[in-house]
Amino acid sequence: MRPQQTGQKASDMASRRTQQQNMGLRDTHRYDDIIDLPHHVSKRHPQMSLQNRAAQFSPFAALTGHADAIEETARPVETFVELDENRREQINEQLLLLAENLAGQPEITVTYFKPDPKKDGGAYVTLRGRVKSIDLYERQIRFADGRTVEIERVYEIAADSLVSPAQSMI
């Protein structure tokens, strides 16, 4: 702490403080009486870890979700390919063979277009499994494990052992 100043020095200091206050400067000696006191440590609240204290001052994402939006835009998608008449006819024949052999729950591999839920386009997905039924009303192929594929989105059907009943009698 500073000793008390007397006389002329004290009045000079007072006038200097008044000038500093008028100019917007602060009096730096206001806290001289408490500056050397020991730091208070609370008995009720535990001290914050250095990591948590540092986190208070870490930068934040001002544009929340901006990086995700850029990443989503950059993600590639494929466009749906419209099938020509020959290809549609082949798929319809394979579906008829499949319908005739449903009792044996044939195993097939189907490639179909799966639309992207977030943007135009999608991806071609290949699925292998045992067919449970073909729902003509919903226009879906239903698999034994519960998965479904819309017939309009089918690009290719491959089966190892699909035989028409007429061919099995020969």
Q: Where are the alpha helices (DSSP H) in 110-155?
A: none
In a domain, residue 14? The reply is: no
Structural domain includes residue 75: no
Residues 6+ apart with CB under 8 A from 132: 102, 105, 142, 143, 144
Number of domains in the chain: 1
> Do the domain assignments include residue 102?
yes
The tokens describing 33, both together, are 């009486």
Distance CA 2, CA 61 (A): 47
Q: Is residue 151 part of a domain?
A: yes
Domain contains 4: no
Structural domain boundaries, residue 93: 85-164
Partners of 114 in the β-ladder: 123
Task: Give a yes or no: residue 125 inside a domain.
Answer: yes
Q: Is residue 158 part of a domain?
A: yes
Task: List helix spans (H) across the chain.
Answer: 7-22, 50-56, 66-74, 85-100, 165-168
31 falls within a domain: no
**pLDDT per residue as tens, the chain (170 positions):** 444 545 566 666 666 666 666 665 555 678 888 888 898 889 899 988 999 888 888 777 777 888 888 888 888 889 999 999 999 999 999 999 999 999 888 999 999 999 999 888 999 999 999 999 999 899 999 999 999 999 999 999 998 776 655 555 44
Q: Residue 153: which CATH number?
A: 2.30.30
Cut 0.75: pTM above it: no
